[in-house]
Structure 1
Amino acid sequence: MVCMESLLCDEVCPSSPPAVTTEPFGRSNFGSSMYTTKEEYEQALTICMEKEISYMPEPNYLGNLSSNNLVIARLKCIQWVIKSAGRLNLSLGTVFYAANYLDRFISMNHCTGWKYWMVELVSVACLSIASKFSDTCNPSLLELQMEDLDHSFEPSTIQRMEMMVLNALGWRLASTTTYSYLELLEWILDSLKPQLHEKLIGRLNKLLLGAISVVVYTPVE
């Protein structure tokens, strides 16, 4: 496991775990479909499924979370990511990138020495990285920590954690996530009436945000 004990900064009083937000997000990553033919769409879907396997956490990730008592810690941090992204007007794609980075990083570290503040620190770093990768406007490290964290971290501490995450992930950030498939559905949904299209996308977004708190990584056969 990457040594993070030296990164602990000031703590604040614990707060209640945040609920899944219903706040509007920034751009939803949906616009006019980039695919003009069925063949282009099928090729993009095939590439997406092939890439997904290489962007999954290490095997037995759920078992590792359970053995290290990290299931609740992960849940709280994913909820924090969702709420913070809504507050900061970040895209939904950023939320799913951040969750993927968090899961992959934790899965690579099998040490039993995890503490809750470590998961929070990694979560802040992952959301920061994801926003830089996926969004055009990036919040400052202080803005990221304005609400719902049990601990606070100096910007320099978060930056060091970002480098640890990037190195552990091999700088491979263009992850295939569950949201990637929803983006691909845009080609199919273009035929719907605009009002029905908008309602369906909104419903699917809420379903995915609710599901992201659950650790489910099943490779596509």
Structure 2
Amino acid sequence: MPLGLQDLLCSEDVESLELGQSGVGSGFDSDSGSIRSSTKFSFPDDAQEVLVRFIDTESDNSTRSDYQIRLCSHSFDLFARAYSVSWILKACAHHRFLPVTGYLAVNYMDRFLELHRILEEKDWAMQLLAVTCLSLAMKMEETFIPCLLDLQADCSEFVFEPKTIRRLELLVLASLDWRLRSVTPFSFIEYFAYKADPSGKYARYLVSRATKIILSSLHDINILDHRASSLAAAAIICASDEIQDLAFTNPDTAVAWCSGLTQDKISSSYQLMKQIVINNNVQRKQPVILSQQRVMPGVRIEFASLWSSPPSRKRKHEERDTMVT
């Protein structure tokens, strides 16, 4: 029997594609702060077995403790990282990316900076790295992705040519040994929300609120001390603290949500998350976004040269002069 044109069409719609994304099982609505998906969670029979494997491997793509020490010892590194995290989250909200996309972009950036250091004179280099890491993350997680120029629209001080970003993508990929698939808190968050609230009455709110807490925590370098599973559990507990019916949820009860969780790690992450929630009650000052400057291909921005000796004052002016407002 011959096939009609309708037989060649995919049966999936936009919503079903979003539900198939890894991380939070739906798109994140940055305007309402809610999660776009069905009203009820469903998990395969082997869900906990899969999460146990995630816990066993979650430290594979995390940074070493000496990376945090180096960041704290160099004020430029610390400020540049915080600014880049803010840009990544702002760009994700602008393009309505999944929360896991922003998380992965920050993960790639931290793992790259663990191996390399950007000179203070190259202030635009950190922006280029942030754009590149977000570009890689969106290719991993998003169904619909903007072009590289649109990715930087309304969010960047500088606008980099696509071929410049692609060159740096290769360097980042090589530095990360092509290991882009990382375990994130969003691998656990829906399952933990179900464990905290089996009735499902508050589950959607728990996921939405915990997602906001996790994304806010990316600004704090202390998050690098904590594993993804513990951060997810801690964020769900923090969200549960705001619901009277779930006030009994705590690190002691959360440890039973999945094999491999430990009470001390959840407690430590919970204390960090709780502090972040308190701090975020004060309006965070947004970074100043300057008018865009277009970085033309003629500018030398090979990242291999960024860790060489600083350029002379004359050379620096020459670089700036090649940029057009």
Pairwise TM-score range, normalised by the shorter structure: 0.7 to 0.9
**Are residue 151 (structure 1) and residue 155 (structure 2) matched?**
no
Matched, 1:33 2:39: no
Tell me the SS of whatever aligns to 1:86: helix
SS at match of 2:65: coil
Match of 2:78 among 71, 76, 79: 71
Change (3 A) 1:130 1:199: same
Change (3 A) 1:73 1:140: same
* Aligned-partner Cα distance in 2 for 1:28–1:94: 16
Larger deviation: 123-132 or 61-70? 61-70
Q: 1:211 to 1:177 in 2, by over 3 A?
A: same
| CA-based RMSD | 2.6
Tell me the CA shift for residue 186 of structure 1. 5.0
Partner of 2:50: 44
Distance between the aligned counterparts of 1:177 and 1:146, measured in 2? 27
Could you tell me which residue of structure 2 aligns to residue 3 of structure 1? none
TM-score normalized by the length of structure 1: 0.78
**Partner Cα separation in structure 1 for residue 35 and residue 65 of structure 2:** 33
Aligned residue identity for 1:23:
D
Match of 1:122 in 2: 129
Structure 1 residue 29: Cα displacement: 8.3
CA distance in 2, matches of 1:183, 1:61: 30
Partner of 1:14: none
1:166-185 equivalences under 5 Å are: 166-185=173-192
* Residue 24 of structure 1, CA deviation: 5.3
The answer as to 2:96 corresponding to 1:89 is yes
Match of 1:152, SS?
strand
Partner AA of 2:208 in structure 1: G
Please say which of residues 87-96 and 171-180 is displaced more in the overlay. 171-180
Q: Deviations over 1:118-137 (max 9, x none)?
A: 21111101111101111111
SS where residue 159 of structure 2 aligns? coil
TM-score normalized by the length of structure 2: 0.54
- 1:125-163 CA-partner distances (Å, limit 9, x unpaired): 111110111111111111111123222211111111111
Q: Is the 8 A contact 1:102 1:126 kept in 2?
A: yes
Identity of aligned residues (%): 28
Q: 1:159 to 1:26 in 2, by over 3 A?
A: farther
1:141 aligns with 2:148: yes
- Taking the aligned partners of 2:32 and 2:132, their CA distance within structure 1 comes to 23
Q: Distance in 1 between matches of 2:34 and 2:134?
A: 15
Read off the aligned partner of 2:85 and give its amino acid letter.
I
How far did 1:26 drift?
Answer: 9.8
| 1:193 aligns with one of 188, 200, 212 | 200
Which of 131, 134, 139 pairs up with 2:138?
131
**Structure with higher RCO (Cα < 8 A, 6+ apart):** 1
Larger radius of gyration: 2
Specify every segment of 5 or more residues in structure 2 that has no aligned partner in the other structure, as ranges.
Answer: 1-28, 228-264, 266-325
- Provide the secondary structure at the position in 2 that maps to 1:113: coil
Inter-partner Cα distance in structure 1 for 2:108 and 2:33: 20
1:96-127 Cα shifts (integer Å, max 9, x gaps)? 11111111111111x46353312111110111
Q: Could you tell me which of 63, 71, 75 is aligned with 1:57?
A: 63
Could you tell me which amino acid in structure 2 is paired with residue 80 of structure 1? W
The unaligned stretches of length 5 or more in structure 1 are 1-20
Cα distance change of structure 1 residues 162 and 140 upon mapping to structure 2, 3 Å threshold: same
> Match for residue 242 of structure 2?
none
Is contact 2:65-2:225 (8 Å) kept? no
Report how far residue 165 of structure 1 moved. 0.8
